[in-house]
Structure 1
Amino acid sequence: MFFQLKETPVKILDTYDKIYELVKAILHFECPDHRAQHHILYTANMQLEAYREAKDFYRRYDDPSYALGCLSREAYEQANKQFHQLSTIIRGYMHLSEDSKRDHFNHHFRFSKEKIDKMHQLFEQKHHHKLLKLEALFYERLKEDVAPLLTQFE
Structure 2
Amino acid sequence: MTNFGNISPKEVLDKAHSVTHFGGGGRLEFSELPKDLEERIVANKFFNNQASLNLAKSHLGTQGDGNHFLFVGISKQTGETMMVTHHGSRGFGANLYTHGMKVAEMFRKDISPQTLPKNAWIPYDTNEGKSYWEALQIVRDWTKLNHTTIQKCGGGIERID
* TM-score using structure 2 length: 0.34
User: Which structure has the higher relative contact order (CA within 8 Å, separation 6+)?
Assistant: 2
Which has the larger share of strand? 2
Which has the larger share of helix? 1
* TM-score using structure 1 length: 0.35
